[in-house]
Amino acid sequence: MITTRSHYRQLFQDEVQRLAAIEINIPVNQEFSTHHIVHYPKFLSIMEEQFMSTLAKEQIKNLARFGGGPEEDVIKWLQEVEEVFDRAQLQPFNKYLAVQSYLIESAAKWFRHNRSNICDWSTFKIEILKVYRPSLDQILLKMEQRQQLSNELVMEYYYDKLQLCLQADSTMSSAMIIHYLTKGLNPLLVPYVVRRHPSTPAEFLLIAQDEEKIQQMLQGLTQSTIRSHDDDSNDKDPIDEMVALVKRPTYTNPRSFNYRQQPQRITPSPQPLMNSQFVYHQPSHSTHRYDRPNPSSTFISHQCYECRCFGHIAKHCPNRKNVRRGI
């Protein structure tokens, strides 16, 4: 879209007319303040204006509510409310009206009973801080107990702890702020930060963030090395597994025999079949407590050289005649 001089002149005239139509609300018995005048930007398109309006509505809709509980921080809540209202470009009087919708429980009861003394946005901020602002002891205790969590970034911890330090003492020196920041910092980062001797809180944040990035990088390299090692161990050749399966020793169930434990067979040098003797020896008593000598477990088997059968000799072979006939 090309904007010509005539278009700029028309935009300027429209802006002058719009500003002239703005009504200024001056509270009674109060001095005039320029904060009551809000200049809205001139949008070049309807789509841009609708987008900004939708964004402001979403921010106001998601704004946290305040109930005045002991675990709630009225200072932090009030700062967030102010920031959201400023982004939505609300006038102070509209801020005063809008904030009433975000008070619940005891805070809503407090405002309802003191509405007559709270007539504008500035008075509201002063009065609510008087009632719900924590004491100095509570702020100091919270500041001492604030520690960086294991999954918390340094920047998030830094600004939260810095806010507590300024709440306790708005004129706190940089040395004291660094002292409290170091006390709650992740123990893995403390030696590196102390060794660099930061002189300002901003320098403390830069040093801590640099070391945090280095440790995150080293941790990522360690995890990738472990994963690669696991992948290598899982990518084994299936042929090696089959070989291991073949080489795996096979054990025979001892219950399939008539004696309690299968004896160990000692294979002698090759001998003629007819004179071979298979001798089974019972293991000694020192190996297992349940091994006992069994006389029946030792036997000698003879083989006939006529019919090649076991259990008899050639002299008493019942098949001698058949073997000699060639049957």
Distance CA 298, CA 294 (A): 8
pLDDT tens-digit series, residues 2-28: 667 677 677 767 776 776 666 656 555
Confidence at residue 276, expressed as pLDDT on a 0 to 100 scale: 45
Lowest mean pLDDT among 36-45, 113-122, 260-269: 260-269
Provide the residue ranges of all domains of the chain, joining segments of one domain with +. Answer: 45-133, 137-222
pTM: 0.48
Confidence at residue 232, expressed as pLDDT on a 0 to 100 scale: 60
CATH class assigned to 137-222:
mainly alpha
pLDDT tens-digit series, residues 164-216: 898 888 899 999 999 999 999 999 999 999 999 999 999 999 999 999 999 88
Whether the predicted pLDDT of 224 surpasses 50: yes
